[in-house]
Each structure stands twice: as C-alpha cells, then as structure tokens.
Structure 1
Amino acid sequence: MLIAATQAFADKGYHATTTRDISSLAGMSPAAVYIHYRSKEDLLFQISLIGHELSLGVLDAVRETDPVERTARAVASFARWHAEFHTTARVVQYELGALSPEHHAEVVLLRRRIEARVRDMISAGVRSGAFDVPDVGGAVLAVLSLCIDVARWYRPDGRRTPEEIGELYADLVLRMLRPAGDEPGTVPSAPSPDL
C-alpha cells in the first residue's frame, strides 16, 4: 500500500491522487486503504516518516572521524540515496505541506536531526581548519539543497548512475567548503557536469 501510494503521489501529486488511484495500483479495493490507514494523509505521513528516517540513517552510517572524509562520504551517500530512491524522496520533500499540523511537526523534528548532522560535520571541519566557512548555516542549507534536489531531476535512464552523482556532489561540496587553493583530493572527480 505504501509503495502504491508513493508512486501515485509522485505521479499525480498528493492533492490530485485519490484513494481509488492508490488502491488500484496496490491491486486492492478502495475500502482496503482504510483498513490499513485512517486516511490518505496518514499514508503520506507514514511515507514521510520512513523516507526521513532512512535518509537520516544514511548520514548516521558514516563513521569516518576525519571531517573532510566524513563530509565527503556523507554527501556522496546522501546524494546517492536521493537518486536511488528518487520517487520516495520527491514525495517526502515536495508534499510536506499536505501533512496535518501534528504530522508536519513530527516530520520537522526528523528534518532538524538531518540538518544537525550536516551542521556537525561542517562545524567539525571548520574547527579543524579544513573548511573555511564564514556562514555555517548557509553552507548547511546549500549542501542539503544540493543533495535533496537530486530527487527532482534524477532519471534512472540518465547519463549518471547514483554512485557517480554521489561522487560528483561530494567533490563539489568539498570545493565549496575548503579554503581557496586547497585541493579536495579525497573523492575522485566525476566527468564534467551534464546532469
């Protein structure tokens, strides 16, 4: 049911999707939706929770202690996740406004945890002298925006694999954060950007 709802929301948008659309994709009757979920909005909430928890888990899985290597691996993994799971990520990121205030508040807590992970990585790099970032908050927003936006444009039949996108984005982020003249060097450079 969640997979069908995710696909329906991605295809038509939350507001244009009916429970009949979802049940049809799931191979069930329209009444079956309400056996498992209280409402269409509850389905969206469950998808949002799962998507945010999974993407947070991607960041939490990075264990490197060197701030440059940690940031490179985290960005590569986060961007790759948004490509591999672009349908879910698109729904999670772009249908957030359709959640009820209570559900929205729960998802915002997860989003703050994701933001905190990226802030911690960048701040560690600043403290170590590896990064030259006068506005850490602005850098956090830029990094998150860059990775999250992959879900909007990524196509499985495109020129780049999720792994190549991850490598490219890690390289771009390191170039953005490091002092002028420093060579990123920790992540192989990807081909010229023709996304």
Structure 2
Amino acid sequence: MAVHDAWAPYDTYTDADHQLCCAHVLRELQAVSDAADPEADWCWATQAADALVAMQKLVNDAIEADADTIDPDILGTQAGLYHSAAQIGYTQTAGRATKQEKTHNALAHRLLDRQDDYLRFTQDWRIPPDNNGSERDICMIKLRQKVSGCLRTLTGARQFCAIRSYLSTAAKHGTHFFESLVMLAEGRR
C-alpha cells in the first residue's frame, strides 16, 4: 500500500495499491474555493471537500464504535456528492482558457479518474486517508538539519534515519521506544 500525494513518479509503483492523500487534495480544493466568485452561492470544490471530510468522519466514527461496516446508503450519498462535484468542476473548467482554469480542470479530472484511490480508505479501514504520519517522520530529519546545520557524515545520516525509521515503525505497532531499543539491542526485534 502506498499512501501519497498525486505526484506522478509514485504511479510507477505498479505492484502497490494507492491511497491518494486526502489532506493534500483538501488543500487544493480549498484553493479552488478561495479563488471562486465570492458572489456565488455554491462551489464544486467546497462540495467535494465536504464529502471527503464526511467520509473520513464516517470511517473514524465506525472505527471508534468497533463497527464492522458503514451504512452503505450514507457512504454512497457522500461518494455521489464527491463524484458529482468533481464532474461539475470538470465541466465548468473544460474551456481551460486561463492557467487557473487549467489547474482546476486537472484537479477535477484527477478527482474523477482516481476516485477509487482517493476513497480506498472507506473500504479498508487499516489505510489512513492521508500521509501526514509519514510526513511527520520526515519532519524530524529536517528539524535536525535546521538545528545542527546538517547531518555531519553520510554514515551518521544513515544511522539516524535507520533508528528513526525503526522507532517510528515500533510506535505504529504500539511498542514504546525504550522497549523497542532494548529488543533491538538484544536481537529480539
């Protein structure tokens, strides 16, 4: 499973299922909404974003309630709102007369073409709807570079990344950092 933004090189991983990051697309949809005519009563991007957020809430509520399923009618309604909004956005920007229209059209086209990849988290609840956790893992490396100016050697950078990766994976499996390091040192990983 690959959870990522829609950067094209990730699509070269053909053996993996893809979950496109809902947090990234929500920011893109917000930009479309911000650029919309302030006099307009409705914006396709707002409807698509609201539907995505509603589906995330449905999944989170079901997980918290230890439910086995989500009401298919409610989920279907939200997926329909998402799809119809993207279809309207695609139609409204089909002229692609300006750079902004081209960008908005490409977004609407991606929402339609990759709908299964954006909504995969609704079918398999083990899949997160965004890649924020992965980006938080990278953030520590960037912070260390900012504070110290750099990672002094390539060997040190590799060691730091290996330890961070191990601890991040352990945390995701519910194992505490110290316990994980002890297990690693004792060869019981």
TM superposition score normalised by structure 2: 0.29
Q: Over alpha carbons, which structure has the higher Rg?
A: 2
More relative contact order in 1 or in 2 (CA 8 Å, sep 6+)? 1
